[in-house]
Structure 1
């Protein structure tokens, strides 16, 4: 453990009293994950054997700052129900936690994010059961935080009140997306609004949708199709899959360009014409006719107010 020194969790009796009260009341606090420490435990002996511990040579420890400035610590095993390969990506995030131990001798307080998740999960599940019984579940909107993506299936995990809900990639929004696009669209830690599509009481499996909270841009597809020209923003230029242009918030069209025009880059504002629409497959193709603001990679996007980019 050379090179690592604990910062004491409290400096005043007032701070200690707050930590003590939070522990006694099982109160859920909010903390900012400030640092990740990796401690070498390969030479730490187990209490019940003289053999060195080899199951995990390095232990990750999160240093978390509470709203009142206190520094508390959370071990990897108390961070989540799941065993993450590393907690590195959680540095800089906000986490709900419960004070689990206060050592008066070392002046160190330990916390558990996993325990807070368990409390929140129970409350959330009870709420889902009640809403389902009242047939009100479909009308409710919840705030969640993107927890991560399963690279094998591109399933998006959304944490709502301690529950890791699942979202199919086509439920992110109304645009037509391909598998290769999902990791670039979704950012861990992003706060989003979702609706619950289904809830299974037996398995407590929850499936959610962000798309269900967004107006379907295809409601305006006829006016887009009939426009002589329409503005858009280039959102992707892929070496294999080509150009994509956002012509309406949540609607990315497959882009083509007139032969004499230079290649676009992401962020280019373009004027284009809708060439074809396939409502069943939700595919739109547009032809780029010009760059109204010229070609520049650093131009200000004048359509940001419309697309919310």
Structure 2
């Protein structure tokens, strides 16, 4: 890769200070930035005129809540104009970065100090990439080590592979190629469901992964429901949890903790349902 698209924002104050920010509306190097640039120039930009660049939080809330920002300020909670993700937030983030840049320059301080300082003098860098197939991922990752001397690598998993076991096979090939002394991380870009992420974790439990980045989207939160169980079924679930605990050396699992994974496995094993779901997609 020799080029990388991005939306780079330049904000200049009345006294000549310039802040730079970046907005991203796509994963990696994908996507077109024409719409984001138009939003920054024609929707966001005019709202910044005459504002105090030091009011970073106030400006963020104004852009996020839109026409309701004054009402939201008085109410003490957010009333987002559109949504809390997508292109609008990408534009706001570019402004936010640029305003922090301006504040740091006005005070003669690096932004990291304004955000609370640093805990360590140096941090280990890692190489990020790793899209290759199982038979090529090892050589791809080792090329990062050869070129940059990296001791930590991050590779992509998730929807790009399909099923979790396919991603797991690539990760296993990667670990075998780079050996145990190099840190290995994975990033699913939020493309797994909760069940798929759990399955991937099980399949790679022995591969000593340093971290699993963005396994699911932030909005994929559990939904709470109330279910009435027959007394006999509840007793069986209690007994099941006790037996499972003895076999695994863990405390007995409560029925409420057992129901969801049991249903996930039941649905995953129903080939008829899987076929019908794909046909409707």
Structure having the larger proportion of residues in helix: 2
TM-score norm. by structure 2 comes to: 0.24
Structure having the larger proportion of residues in strand: 1
TM-score norm. by structure 1 comes to: 0.22
